[in-house]
Chain A
């Protein structure tokens, strides 16, 4: 029973490099989310996908792109990494967008941009 799986767990990039963070869920959830976690700031929403085939910007979308590849997978791409994108990235999913819906989180990707 894997839940939400993120890869890689750790990554070091140089400024200007690109990479894609992968996320997959096996709970047949409709909605998926990407958050970043920075010290003293809690988690902030980057992008979300309410359902397969749709994506929308969250609070801090600049410098990122996303793809909802299918119902299971939701990837986050950094086209040209910057030191300000050093953070821990979490993918999450929910079955619906109903009131009080619980988010299921992956274990995170720790990204350092030098």
Chain B
């Protein structure tokens, strides 16, 4: 079956530090890959996505590149802010049939950014 593995957390950084959150996946075929973010007390929001190999998703200074050869979709940001403190989820959507809307999520990584 499909699975997503994220780096162990929590991650604590100082403001303006570089962020990397690792994500690797196992899936058959050609899944779409996503990063969702959850701010305290809220539901998840889509941060960025990539639907085919070598695509780069980007939003709000965050980037992730779909690497099929390493089955990875690592999230990066060059300079984090306090407002980036949240839980980040890597997820995939399997291809084929009617399964596109059903996501398989990683366990989530808690990010805390200090001033």
Tell me if B77 counts as interface (CB < 8 A to partner A).
no
A78 nearest CB across to chain B (Å) = 20
**In residues 5-61 of chain B, which contact A (Cβ within 8 Å)?**
32, 34, 36, 41-46, 49, 51
The range of chain B's interface size is 20 to 34
Which of A11-19, A60-68, A95-103 lines the interface with chain B? A95-103
Complex Cα gap A103–B98 (Å): 15
Residues of B within 8 A of A97 (CB): 98-101
Q: Is the interface of A mostly helix, strand, loop or mixed?
A: loop
Most buried by A among B4, B36, B43, B99: B43
**In residues 28-74 of chain A, which contact B (Cβ within 8 Å)?**
31, 33, 40-45, 48, 50, 58
Complex Cα gap A100–B33 (Å): 8
Smallest CB gap from A54: residue in B: B98
A48 touches B102 (CB 8 A): yes
B43 touches A44 (CB 8 A): no
A100 touches B89 (CB 8 A): no
B108 touches A42 (CB 8 A): yes
Tell me if A21 counts as interface (CB < 8 A to partner B).
no
Residues of A within 8 A of B102 (CB): 33, 45, 48, 58
Residues of A within 8 A of B32 (CB): 99-100
Tell me if B84 counts as interface (CB < 8 A to partner A).
no
Q: A97-B99, A101-B93 are in contact. List 16 more A-B contacts (CB 8 A).
A: A42-B89, A42-B106, A42-B107, A42-B108, A44-B105, A48-B101, A50-B98, A96-B101, A98-B100, A99-B93, A100-B100, A102-B49, A103-B44, A103-B46, A103-B101, A107-B42
3 tightest A-B contacts by CB? A105-B43, A42-B105, A100-B51
